[in-house]
Amino acid sequence: MTVVNASEPSVASTELSVWPASTTELAHGDIAVGGVPLTEVARRFGTPVYVLDEAEVRERCRTYRHSFPDAEVLYAAKAFLCRAMTHWVDEEGLGLDVCSAGELELAVTTGFPPDRMVLHGNAKAPRDLDTALHLGVGRIVIDSPSEIARLAAAVGPNGHQKVMVRVVPGISAGGHDKIRTGTDDQKFGLSIADGSAQHAITRILDQPQLQLTGLHCHLGSQITSVEPYLVAVRRMVGLMMRLYEQHGLVLPELDLGGGHGIAYRPGEQSLDLTTLARRIRAELADTCATAGLPEPRLIIEPGRAIAGPAGVALYHVLAVKHTGEHVFVAVDGGMSDNPRPALYGVRYAPRLVGRHSTAAPARVAVVGRHCEAGDVLASDVDLPGDVYPGDLLAVPVAGAYHLSMASGYNLVGRPPVAAVRDGHARLLVRRESLDDIRSRDVGL
């Protein structure tokens, strides 16, 4: 294994501003992350491959702990989860937010304490609830009225389960319509405006085996402004005040979800975590004082903001096609390992790795290998004009919602995940093979 000299300075150029902090430039156009050259990762594990910087993940966990010292920080597993990630999050003192029995079981079998976990989901399957109760999950977030009776029956008359209620505060925030979840026109949560949230809470209070510990809301994803969170604090505390007036209920917890925006390309805006923490604390204190309520313990659920910037995706170029004024650079991955550009129009900043080029930049579209016209990983990006088959491309900010949303389209198999740290690379998740795919096909 090649170990990069730790004395080499960290890359500070604007072009690499969205890469992990450990990124360094090497000779011959190579780049190292976590002290490991990316060309070496590609040689060892093949492409496509996700590279995850362990130190970056851990540092981002610590930053959240430092910024919100009095809050409970839960890592949102939906962004990316594997056994190693579960272990890192546990060691850094974060809790875990899971959305299925699969995520829950993987975490618990890795050794993560179930009482530090919260189960979400707008449509929890019976197996999700049964697994959560059997393993002793800390809290279950009720997302619809039908869950109340089902959960109470599953707990049983002598059982006990802490719950929260997901509330829709009527706030539009997020980077795309498909990832805005704080409004009344989507599938998540119970509305304040039409009284659904209040009615559900009244029903929960009639179930002695369900202990309501607090309210939950999630506004959306890729939010880069602090203001929506402050509005959410005011509306959620307003509901808490009405619950106190109607039921004498004082709730000890308030979960503001996550959705903290990150930059995918140089120059893009990200959410200022220090400002967010300071202003939320101030708003919560002021609003609770005005309402005459004690301050609830704050809970936040970052996912993308922890995993996203720690990941890099590597691809080899398979073909370069000139069609009129357009140049298409086709790689050996695509929408099966990163569906986000097709779903949300997300834009990335791929970079040539492994050789220096003196060619003038050309405006190209980096496209995938799949049988869809929408299989475009990065449109209107600049790459060296002499890019050719066999070149290695690296796409930063690939740690969140890549493997977790990967599909089996065209049966190409999902990529592996390799962790890098201190000059060493190790496999976390192996590549899905053709044998894996064939083994699931049991009929003829």
Please list, residue by residue across 398-417, b when 16 or more beta carbons sit within 10 angstroms of its beta carbon and e when fewer do: bbbbbbbbbeebeebbbbbb
Domain extent for 363:
14-53+309-440
Residue 289 in any domain: the answer is yes
Q: How far is CA 270 from the centre of its chain?
A: 15
Residue 421 in any domain: the answer is yes
- Asked whether residue 35 falls in the same domain as residue 115, the answer is no
- 78: helix, coil or strand? helix
CATH number at residue 290: 3.20.20.10
> Which helix (H) or strand (E) element contains residue 90?
helix 83-91
Last residue of a domain, one of 307, 329, 344: 307
- Asked whether residue 223 falls in the same domain as residue 201, the answer is yes
Q: Would you give per-residue pLDDT tens digits along the chain (444 residues)?
A: 333 444 344 444 568 899 999 999 999 999 999 999 999 999 999 999 999 999 999 999 999 999 999 999 999 999 999 999 999 999 999 999 999 999 999 999 999 999 999 999 988 999 999 999 999 999 999 999 999 999 999 999 889 999 999 999 877 555 445 444 545 666 778 988 888 899 999 999 999 999 999 999 998 888 999 999 999 999 999 999 999 999 999 999 999 999 999 999 999 999 999 999 999 999 999 999 999 999 999 999 999 999 999 999 999 999 999 998 899 999 999 999 999 998 888 899 999 999 999 999 999 999 999 999 899 999 999 999 999 999 999 999 999 999 999 999 999 999 999 999 999 999 999 999 999 999 999 998
Residue 67 in any domain: the answer is yes
- Asked whether residue 78 falls in the same domain as residue 44, the answer is no
Active site residue ranges: 371
Number of domains in the chain: 2
> Which helix (H) or strand (E) element contains residue 341?
helix 340-344
- Asked whether residue 196 falls in the same domain as residue 321, the answer is no
Cβ proximity of 54 and 34 under 8 Å? yes
Q: Which residues contact 195 (CB under 8 A, 6 or more apart)?
A: none
- pTM summary value: 0.93
